[in-house]
Structures are given as C-alpha cells and as structure tokens.
Structure 1
Amino acid sequence: MEKYDEDEAHEGEEEDEVHAITYSCIMAPNRCTKRFLHLSDTFIALVIVTPLVVGHWYGTWEFMNNHAEYFPPIPTILFGTCYHLLIVLSRHHVHEKVKTPHLRDRTLMQKVGRYIFTKLFIYVFSIACIMAFRAIFVLCEPYDNGVSRAILLMILSGTALACLKSVRNIIAPPVAIATDCKSVSFAFPTRFKSHASNEPGFYFIDCAFSVIVIGTLVVLVWRSLWVLFDLLIFPGEPILSAYYSVAIGYGIVAITFALQPLMKWSCDRLTGFWRVAVCDAFLFFSFVGTVNVWRGIWELLDLLFLPDDPLLSNILTHSVSFVLLAMLNCSNSVLVRGVFIDAEEPAGQCVIFPVHYIRLFVQKERTKKQRRMIDMLEKGELQTELLEKSEKNTIQIVKGLSKSNEMTNMAANLPKNVPNIENGSEKPCQLYENGLDKENHLYENGVENGEHKIGQ
C-alpha cells in the first residue's frame, strides 16, 4: 500500500479521526486471499515469466554466436559495459524526466509516449546486458573447461561477492521478477547508494564499481556453475541432460519457496554475521535451482525449437518473448541492473523472493480506492454519510431505551403479596417474590448491558 506523506494530511483532530475511519474502511485481504495471490504469483513466475526471459536471452545470445564475426569479445564487452555505466550514471535524471506527479495529470499522448519509451529503454538495455554477459563467457572459455577450475572460479567469485555482501545479486527468474513500473525501470540502487548532487566524484566511482566489479563477479559465478552442470549432468546426452536439469532446477526452486516461512522465522531471530550467513546460504541454494532451470530451458530451445533453421529460431525467441513480456508488463525481468545488499531488509524479509505480480495490481486497486475516499473526504460526502449512520444508530438506541423502561415500570407495578392457596392466607409466597425480584433485576441489567452494547 502506498504511503502518504504527513505534510499532505489534513490538520486538526477531527480530520485525523475521519482519516482513520477512512483507512479502516479499506480492509486488507484475508489469509486465504493472501495465500491464493502468493500461489498465483509463484505459478506465473515459474511457468510464464521464466521461460519467456530465458527465451529472450537465448535468442539474442545465440544470434550473436551465429554471427560472431560481428560481435568480437573485447569490443562487445566495452560497448555493453559503457552503455550500462551510462544508464546507471543518468538513471536519476531519466527518472525525474519520466515520472509525473499523478496519473490523472497526464494526457493520453503522455501515457502512450512514456509506455513506448519505457519498453524501448528496457529493450536496448537488455541487449547491452546480454552483450556484456556473453563477452565474459567467451573470454573465460579457455580457462574453466575442467571441473576443478570451474569449482575454483565459483569459490573465488562467490567468496568475493559474500565479502561485499552482494550475493543477492546472483538471483534471477524464477525467484525474482520485476514489473515495468517507473520506480523499477529508472531507479535502482548502486553498491554504496551515493548521490550525484552530494559527491560527484564518489558517485562515478560507486557506479563504475557496481557495474564493472559486482557485475563481473555475478557473471563469473553464473559461468562457473553453468559449466559445472555441463560437465556433471549427462555430458554425452544433451537432451537427457536438459530434461534432468529442468527437473532438478524446478525441484530445488519448489523446495526454496516452501522453505521461505521457516527461513523467515530463522532470520527474524538472528542478528549480525549469522543472519547474513544464513541468508546467503539460502539464496545460493535457490541460485543452484535457478541456473539449472535456465540451463535446461536453454538446451531444450537449442535442441528442439526449429533446429534446422537457427536464424528463425533465434529471431522468434528473441522478439516474441520480449513482446509477450512487455504485454504482461514485466519485461524488466530480463535486465541485470542495480546492486542489492545482503540481509538489508528488516526482520526476515531478506529471504522472501520478490515475485510480486498479481499482488501489485491488487495493491494498486486498493490505492485507487483510498484516493477516491480521500476525494470524498475533501468534498464532504463521507462526513455526511457518517453523520447519517450515527443519527440512525441514535434513533435505535432511544427506541430500545423507551421499550426497556416501559417493561421495567410494568414489572414494578405487579403485586408482590400473593395469597397462599394452600394455607388460605395472604402470606406472601417467598418463591414468587424472589422470582419476581430476580426477574426485575435481570431486566434492569439487561437494559443497561443492551444500552452499552448498542453504544459501542
């Protein structure tokens, strides 16, 4: 739910009370709804978004491999890194130019223009990311072609990322997806979270360190684990290896999703080094499943999707996958940008995978409902409605009190001395008198309690 600034709230105690009533009218989803939304987002991330993201990367990557003479490693990595660095340096400026104060302040042309610009920005950015990744993969081919070398490279690069508290940056779909909102597309953090307005020199160093150092370490971890699986999972049978990789990957990912409540409970009670260590171990375990999923889908596309026409296969997977992701409003999932620090989220949120899709749309609708109710507050419609309800409740209380008082008076006028039929005298019947007193006592208490409950 969006947070509203305190400066924008109305002043005065009466207005604060009305705002409190307004927010209480918008109830949060119940437990069953939350579980359904969580399962729906997980299903979309696993079955829809991940294959499309892998397909876009596969088509672009293999197209460069098939035309390697136009994409040499050194010029490619320089172009991809420089373009990535340029985007990181200018992201705040672009974000300020693109964002607008409120949705209704934009015209139709502005909305369409921002939509097209966002998709083109993400598309070109994805090409730069894939170019840099592929160039590093190609440069590492002569040095990590053995199991021991792949393990050594994975240990060195993984340890460096752990020391920099940046292990979180190795995760990708299906354990992380991103929608195409402007806060995600044009505003993402660097390692030291510096700002250009405060220290321009340190800001450039921070951006360069985030792109070159952290980005290269992430690629090396991916490369070493991918090669290790190539060497260990049925290396002589590519189709069987691909199927096994998909099964292993989705199995590990399913286990990590199921372990999230337990891991959240554990990290919520740990502090310091152990909290970061447990978080990193869990993220790396999910990363093993992620790489297997990517490798399996990649190999299946390479072996089964138009194997006789690789150019058409590459073009279709590259373009159709991105178009579908753009239509689903989550093409940001193909990008590798930003540096997130391990265990920086509060409590146990550091082990919760960011796979929010349908929940974001539900949250957006709730926010719109809040804004409509705030508009009603400003126009005075909600105050009138609340006053009408309070007047109806007052009338009901008065009627209830009148009826209760009438019944009490009738009970008080009844005679207490009743003739004793058995003895023929006018001696009061103790049982009847006590019963009547008890009934009157209950009646009076009942009126008081009823009045109190109605008042609540």
Structure 2
Amino acid sequence: MVSTVIEHIVDALFVVFIFSPLVVCYWNSTWNLIGLYLLPSNKIASGWISVAISIVLMVASFFTQDVLNKYVKKEKYVSFYLVSRLFTYVMSFSQVSNWRGIWELLNLYIGITIPGSLTILGIGTVGLIALRSYRNVLTPPGAWVLDVDTDNHFTIIHLFGTKKGSVLYVIDVLFGVVVVSTLVVLVWRGQWMVLQLSISPNNDLWRGIIVFSVGNVLVVTLIVTQFPARKLAGHLHTTHPLLQIVFEDACVLLVCFSAVCYWHGLWALLDVMVIGYDPNLTQWLLHALGFGGLMLLRVCRSLQFMGYNFDGEYPEGIGLVQTPSYCNTILASLCRREALSDAIRLTASTRTVYVEVESQHKQIPVS
C-alpha cells in the first residue's frame, strides 16, 4: 500500500515538473518554428497552408496504419524503433500544425476579444457534446500515452468505427480530421483567450506566473481526486450510462481548464525566457529538448495524433486518468526484459553445456 502511494506521488511529480513542461516546450517551439519558416510575411497564407499540411498528414495516417502495423514489428527492434519514432514525430508535427493554422486564422478573421472568444468556446463545447466527443479536448497533463507495450503503435482511431475500405470510412476520417479537430481547437482557443484578456497584469511574466500557479494547483487537485472519479464513472457505466457521460464531461471540462491554465502560464514564461536570444537557435533547442526528452522517458506518444474517442465508452472510467502509471508500467517492462535476458542467458549456457557434453561424448573411443 505504501509503495503504491509512493509510486503515485512519483508519477504526479513526473507529470507536473518533467513530462508536462517537455510537452509544452515541444508545442511552443514547433509552433514558433512553423511561424518562422512558413511564409512569415503572409499570415493568412501561412495559416491555410499549415491547416492543409496537417489535414494531409492526419488523413494519410488512417490509410497507412494497417500497412505499418503489419510490416513494422517489435521483434525487429531497430527498424521498429526508428520507424515508430519517426511516425510519432510526423503525427506530433501534424497536430501542432493543425492547431496553429486554425488558431492563427481565427485570430485574423475574428479578432481577439472576450465576446468573440466566448462565442468560439460555446460553439466548440456544444458541437463536441452534441457529437459525444468532448473528451477529445484532453491533452497532457490530463491525458498520457506510454511508449511501452505498444502492439498497435501505428493505430489511429476513427470516430464512428465504419468499415475500412468503404466510402463511409473516408467520410468518417474526413469528418473527424476537419470537424472534430476544429471544434477541439475552438474549445482551447476560447478558454485561452478569455484567460489572456481577463487576467489583469499586462506583464507577460506576471501573467505567466499567476496562471501557471493556478494551473498547477488545479492539476494536483485533479490528480488526487482522479481515482474516486474513475470508480464513480465505472459504477455509472453499468447503472446509468447517460449519467456517466454527463459526469465525465463535467470532469473533462475541469481537466481541460486546468490544462489550459498550465499551458498558458508556462507558454508565457517560455516566451519571456527566450526574449533577446536568437529565435532559430532557441526554438530548435527547445524543440529537441521537448521531443528528445519525452522519447527518452518513453512518453513521446503523448504528443502524437491518436484519433478520436466517444464520451463514456470506457467501462472503468479510463477517460478520466490524469497521471500515467509510469513507475508500474516502466518497472514491469524492465522486469520483463530482464526476465527475457535471463532466459536467453540460461538457454545459451544450457546449450553450451550440452555441446560440451556432446563433444566429450564423441571423443570417447568405442571399444
């Protein structure tokens, strides 16, 4: 019991102080790098091209996943590692490109005002709830995917579960990529801009400190309460499925708001930190730090575009998980590898002894 509590505390510390900052570093730097290199003098064209690139990559992921899952196997460790990490990198880039393009176009066409932001937030929230897809707004620190034990590393989930190879499947994919993804960005941008315009300090440093502190308090609170929430969601799944959806959507709303606060504050602090330095160098360093750090810690799939899920579809309230079972999963993975290594060494030594005995036996002269 004590060891389990300690592991949960360690997981929470990793989430708040290591994992999540690395995620924000990757997003912030990738967002800024796209702005630096993709038609910086024409923001409208840059925004539309950014969206177009992301749609092409995200749609392509649905039609290439079966081939990748079939031919890129974990047994071939080197090729699997290289291809899977490249796939994760491309999908992560497509996600950032999609959000940046939609976000920048909204800034240009609608402007940055509280009424406009609230309208955008309302459209996004109502649209996702109506489609029973509100939980797709979850991002780190509210949702994590580990890189270990990934039998279907390349699998991207389409929304309506239509049969592959049909026209309906193509419509399903396009609907998720174009409509659901856009509604998710509307929810995030609405909350983000309301925060930015309503916090009184105009100083980016103080705004970042205040919002980041609020985000940390909310994230820690939700981490502590996640397990009772999951139990209640699991109970409602069997007794009152509709109430489970309502309850999970309320929880996801709080989780999303805590994540927006966390990201907004840390994003502002990162922007302040790099002022006065060469933007190309600093952004590439942050980019490498973010993706490389998450890859070494084996949580880089948390950056990846993973597809779409329905609200309330998990029987045990898995959609409400705040922290990855990092210690348990990684330690279990290492133990399995050590056990496998021991088995290989034991087999090899046994085989060696057998060969030696067989060799000695052959050397015995037959009378």
2:79 matches 1:125: no
Contact map agreement 1:242 1:296 (CA 8 A) in 2: yes
Pair 1:214–1:354, CA change in 2 (3 A): farther
User: Can you list the C-alpha shifts for 1:240-280, whole angstroms capped at 9, x where unaligned?
Assistant: 10001110111111111122233234324431322111111
Q: Which amino acid aligns with 2:59?
A: L
With the length of structure 1 as denominator, give the TM-score of the two structures. Answer: 0.68
Distance apart, 1:179 and its partner CA = 2.1
Match of 2:353 in 1: none
Query: How far apart, CA to CA, are the structure 2 residues paired with 1:365 and 1:323?
Result: 20
Q: 1:180 pairs with 142, 147, 150, which one?
A: 147
Pair 1:138–1:115, CA change in 2 (3 A): same
2:24 matches 1:57: no
Distance apart, 1:193 and its partner CA = 2.2
2:56 matches 1:82: yes
Distance apart, 1:229 and its partner CA = 0.9
1:338-417 maps to which residues of 2 (within 5 A)?
A: 338-353=307-322, 355-365=324-334
Contact map agreement 1:166 1:342 (CA 8 A) in 2: yes
2:218 matches 1:218: no
2:257 matches 1:291: no
With the length of structure 2 as denominator, give the TM-score of the two structures. Answer: 0.84
Match of 1:264 in 2: 230
2:214 matches 1:244: no
Query: How far apart, CA to CA, are the structure 2 residues paired with 1:76 and 1:331?
Result: 22
Match of 1:166 in 2: 133
User: Can you list the C-alpha shifts for 1:382-419, whole angstroms capped at 9, x where unaligned?
Assistant: xxxxxxxxxxxxxxxxxxxxxxxxxxxxxxxxxxxxxx
Q: Structure 1 residue runs of 4+, over 4 Å off?
A: 365-375
Q: Which amino acid aligns with 1:298?
A: W
Query: How far apart, CA to CA, are the structure 1 residues paired with 2:94 and 2:317?
Result: 34
Pair 1:237–1:265, CA change in 2 (3 A): same
Query: How far apart, CA to CA, are the structure 2 residues paired with 1:374 and 1:315?
Result: 43
Q: Which amino acid aligns with 2:278?
A: D
User: Can you list the C-alpha shifts for 1:335-358, whole angstroms capped at 9, x where unaligned?
Assistant: 233111112111444423352322
Q: 2:68 pairs with 70, 73, 94, which one?
A: 94
Pair 1:261–1:75, CA change in 2 (3 A): closer
Query: How far apart, CA to CA, are the structure 1 residues paired with 2:92 and 2:228?
Result: 35
Q: Which amino acid aligns with 2:20?
A: T
Structure 2, gaps ≥5 residues long: 345-367
User: Can you list the C-alpha shifts for 1:281-340, whole angstroms capped at 9, x where unaligned?
Assistant: 111101101011111111111101353322221111112221111111221122233111
Contact map agreement 2:7 2:328 (CA 8 A) in 1: yes
Match of 1:323 in 2: 292
1:429-444 maps to which residues of 2 (within 5 A)?
A: none
Please state whether the residue corresponding to 2:39 is helix, strand or coil: helix
Pair 1:374–1:190, CA change in 2 (3 A): farther
Contact map agreement 1:175 1:355 (CA 8 A) in 2: no
Q: Considering only aligned residues, what root-mean-square deviation do their CA atoms show, in Å?
A: 2.4
Query: How far apart, CA to CA, are the structure 2 residues paired with 1:332 and 1:133?
Result: 17
Query: How far apart, CA to CA, are the structure 2 residues paired with 1:369 and 1:62?
Result: 42
Pair 1:350–1:111, CA change in 2 (3 A): closer
Distance apart, 1:111 and its partner CA = 1.3
2:271 matches 1:302: yes
Q: 1:312 pairs with 277, 281, 294, which one?
A: 281
2:12 matches 1:37: no
Pair 1:144–1:272, CA change in 2 (3 A): farther
Match of 2:162 in 1: 194
Please state whether the residue corresponding to 1:72 is helix, strand or coil: helix
Pair 1:286–1:307, CA change in 2 (3 A): farther
The more displaced of 151-160 and 347-356 is: 347-356
Contact map agreement 1:49 1:325 (CA 8 A) in 2: yes
The more displaced of 73-82 and 184-193 is: 184-193
Q: Which amino acid aligns with 2:175?
A: F
User: Can you list the C-alpha shifts for 1:64-115, whole angstroms capped at 9, x where unaligned?
Assistant: 2234526712222111111110012221221121125xxxxx4xxx311211
Query: How far apart, CA to CA, are the structure 1 residues paired with 2:11 and 2:24?
Result: 18
